[in-house]
Amino acid sequence: MADSKINIKNKRANFDYEISDTYTAGIVLTGTEIKSIRDGKASLTDTYCLVENGEVWVKNMHISEYSFGSYNNHIVRRDRKLLLNKKEIAKLTKASEDPGFTIVPIRLFINERGLAKLLIGVGRGKKEYDKRNSIRDREQKRDLHRLMQK
């Protein structure tokens, strides 16, 4: 598992939120779920995290059914528990209680040991004018990159 190419991103996260703190969390998965992730069949669209009873849960994460799975296949959009330290959970709890802040999954990847990890961040929702500034900055970088290539 040395050179894993699995890198599933939440493209809307950086566009919709200003990410301040990031944490890397493990995920509790079943056998067919990890096989589908290794096939690259997962999506972080419309996904969010909640802290409930001292545990962090990722909600609405889509992992497609494994094509070679039998009747033991997993539920596609079930709630999955995230594995974090108590200090990290305490920080996330405090941050999520502040108005305007939310916990957003940013990236799903497989680490060098072959374990599925989820990069989550504490984000504050952007206003419409912030989004326009992000689009303008992205277009300027793209134009600059095109000019540098010529």
Residue pLDDT, tens place only, 87-109:
999 999 999 888 889 999 999 99
Distance CA 103, CA 105 (A): 7
CATH of the domain at 112: 2.40.280.10
Note whether residue 77 is domain-resident.
Answer: yes
How many domains does one find in the chain?
1
Residues 40-66 have a mean pLDDT of 91
Note whether residue 110 is domain-resident.
Answer: yes
Note whether residue 1 is domain-resident.
Answer: no
DSSP letter (8 states) at residue 149: H
The predicted pLDDT at position 4 comes to 64
Beta partners for residue 55, in sequence order? 52
| 36 within 8 A of 77, measured Cβ to Cβ | no
Percent of the chain with pLDDT over 70: 97
Residues 70-83 have a mean pLDDT of 86
Note whether residue 15 is domain-resident.
Answer: yes
The predicted pLDDT at position 3 comes to 53
| 61 within 8 A of 105, measured Cβ to Cβ | yes
Note whether residue 2 is domain-resident.
Answer: no
Note whether residue 98 is domain-resident.
Answer: yes
Q: What is the pTM of this model?
A: 0.81
Model confidence at 1, in pLDDT bands (50, 70, 90)? very low
Structural domain span for residue 50: 7-149
Note whether residue 102 is domain-resident.
Answer: yes
Note whether residue 39 is domain-resident.
Answer: yes
State pLDDT tens for residues 58-74. 999 999 888 887 777 88
Distance CA 136, CA 120 (A): 26
